[in-house]
């Protein structure tokens, strides 16, 4: 379509709009491959545990479990590199600003390498803090130290992969994103089995397999992205190092990091309250939360589509595309959430039986299964709105609403849990998930008006 120019109010300079259509097919072109990529990711943990389990060494298995927790926290803290890059790239693409698309990628790459190298240098401190938090036995601590030391060399490459995936998704290339994730996971699984089991290198071999997977993925991913760049849009060094561009990226990333830490705090508090009811309830809650997290992988696929399409519409300054993207993302998230909830209700007992053989834990989990089945519906809007706000780079509002929702969860947990026990705790979680989505939805009209107002 030909770009259109909106009428200038009161002599203000006109702002160029670049119309494009958002269709169901466009939503699913990103949703489907990324959902598959997200769902296959847990296979890595299963494979690693299976390799160490075949060695018959419970100490090494414990070390793997503790080490994995340390990396989950460390790497999830920097996952903003993926989402922040997606939003900024999508907006630059919507503006048809090829130079800025490339500049965003190079800035993200520089941040990824800097932070990754810093993590390698800080490995002793990260390991010590992780061991202090978990407090495993001496033998498990030694195995954990070995695993973290080796795997930490993957940090720069893992963060580069975040930047690459963010760029790819920002361009709406869901198929390429899936291919790169399958490459990383495939090399990781194959070499973890080879090094850890076939060659007998144990936990160090499993960690080395992860390093190899992340390294191959980063090198191939960066090469593919750079090869696709148009030489005519190559940004200057001055543009790449532009202070305002870096500050914008760091500001978005900071807010997303705070949001992620707040989400982690809510889940940690949920686990802490559950522990107060004893080991059986704690285990049952853990199983049910895992069901919710698996369901979240499917909702994340739609949220990723919302990131790209909303970011592109903001960059293109085309309100019809923005409205259509939001509506379709909510529609398909609601459909998926309802389907996931129905599966949990109908097949939840069988899923629980696959995850535990303990009759007490199984009975307890089945008693609270309806709460777990409700979580996809309660959290659906939060997933969608996260995608919308990340794509539009409205990270400050997303951060603020997360903090408000966390405060509500803390208040609800301390109030409802003493009154209704574990049922009260689950109710507090449902309120937290719902509040996140509703608060962002209520903030949407104001942000929408500001983003699409004529320049003045």
Task: Please report the DSSP string for 57-86 in residue order.
Answer: -HHHHHHHHHHHHHHHHHHHTTTHHHHHHH
Residues 6+ apart with CB under 8 A from 348: 291, 366, 369, 372, 373
Q: Among the residues of 317-358, which ranges form H helices?
A: 319-355
Residue with tokens 């030909």: 2
Kindly list the averaged pLDDT for each block of 10 residues, start to end, along the chain of length 456.
41 64 92 85 68 73 76 77 90 91 94 94 90 77 89 94 94 91 91 89 90 95 95 91 86 85 85 82 82 86 93 92 96 96 91 78 90 94 94 92 95 94 95 96 94 74
> For position 247, what pLDDT does the model report?
85
SS3 content of the chain, % helix, strand, coil (to 5): 85, 0, 15
| Rounded Cα distance, 345 and 355, in Å | 16
Cβ 395 vs Cβ 374: under 8 Å = no
In which region does residue 421 sit, left (phi positive, over 0), alpha (psi from -120 to 50) or beta (all else)?
A: left
Q: Identify the pLDDT of residue 10.
A: 37
- The helix (H) or strand (E) run that includes residue 5 is strand 4-5
pLDDT recorded at residue 195:
92
pLDDT for res 217: 95
- pLDDT for 46 equals 62
User: Taking the complete model, does pTM exceed 0.75, yes or no?
Assistant: yes
Question: How far apart (Å, rounded) are the C-alpha atoms in residues 180 and 395?
Answer: 27
CA distance 70 to 189: 20
**Cβ atoms within 10 Å of 450's Cβ, excluding its own:** 9
How many other β-carbons are positioned within 10 Å of the β-carbon of residue 69?
14
Number of H helices, E strands in the chain: 18, 2
CA angle 414, 440, 326 (to 5 degrees): 140
SS3 157: helix
Look up residue 231 and give its DSSP letter: G
Quick one: tokens of 386?
Answer: 């996260």
Question: Would you state the pLDDT for residue 440?
Answer: 96
Q: What is the predicted pLDDT for the residue at 15?
A: 62
Give backbone dihedrals phi and psi of 4, rounded to 5 degrees, phi first. Answer: -115, 160
């Amino acid at each position: 379509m030909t770009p259109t120019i909106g009428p200038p109010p009161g002599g203000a300079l006109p702002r160029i709009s670049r119309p494009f259509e958002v269709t169901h097919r466009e939503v699913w072109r990103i949703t489907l491959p990324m959902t598959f990529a997200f769902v296959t990711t847990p296979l890595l943990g299963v494979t690693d545990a299976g390799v160490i389990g075949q060695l018959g060494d419970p100490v090494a298995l414990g070390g793997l479990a503790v080490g994995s927790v340390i990396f989950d926290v460390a790497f999830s803290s920097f996952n903003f590199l993926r989402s922040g890059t997606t939003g900024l790239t999508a907006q630059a693409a919507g503006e048809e600003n090829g130079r800025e698309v490339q500049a965003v990628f190079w800035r993200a790459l520089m941040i990824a390498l800097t932070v990754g190298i810093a993590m390698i240098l800080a490995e002793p401190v990260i390991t010590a803090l992780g061991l202090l938090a978990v407090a495993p036995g001496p033998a498990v601590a030694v195995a954990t130290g070995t695993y973290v030391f080796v795997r930490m060399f993957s940090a720069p490459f893992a963060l580069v992969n975040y930047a690459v995936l963010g760029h790819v998704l920002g361009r709406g290339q869901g198929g390429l994103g899936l291919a790169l994730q399958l490459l990383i996971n495939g090399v990781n699984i194959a070499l973890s089995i080879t090094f850890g089991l076939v060659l007998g290198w144990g936990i160090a071999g499993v960690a080395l397999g992860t390093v190899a997977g992340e390294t191959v993925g980063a090198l191939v991913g960066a090469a593919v992205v750079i090869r696709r760049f148009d030489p005519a849009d190559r940004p200057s060094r001055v543009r790449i190092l532009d202070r305002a561009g870096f500050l914008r990226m760091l500001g978005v990333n900071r807010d997303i990091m705070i949001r992620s830490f707040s989400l982690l705090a809510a889940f940690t508090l949920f686990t802490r309250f559950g522990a107060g009811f004893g080991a059986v309830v704690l285990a049952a809650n853990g199983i049910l939360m895992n069901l919710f997290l698996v369901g979240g992988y499917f909702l994340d696929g739609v949220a990723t589509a919302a990131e790209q399409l909303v970011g592109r519409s903001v960059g293109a300054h085309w309100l019809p595309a923005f409205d259509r993207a939001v509506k379709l993302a909510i529609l398909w998230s609601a459909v998926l959430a309802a389907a996931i909830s129905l599966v949990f209700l109908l097949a939840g007992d069988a899923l629980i039986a696959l995850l535990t053989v303990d009759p007490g834990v199984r009975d307890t989990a089945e008693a609270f299964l309806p709460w777990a089945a409700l979580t996809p519906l309660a959290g659906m809007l939060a997933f969608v709105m996260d995608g919308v706000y990340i794509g539009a780079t409205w990270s400050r509002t997303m951060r603020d609403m997360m903090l408000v929702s966390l405060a509500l969860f803390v208040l609800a947990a301390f109030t409802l849990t003493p009154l209704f026990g574990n049922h009260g705790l689950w109710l507090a979680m449902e309120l937290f998930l719902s509040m996140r989505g509703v608060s962002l939805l209520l903030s949407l009209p104001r942000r929408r008006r500001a983003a699409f107002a004529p320049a003045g």
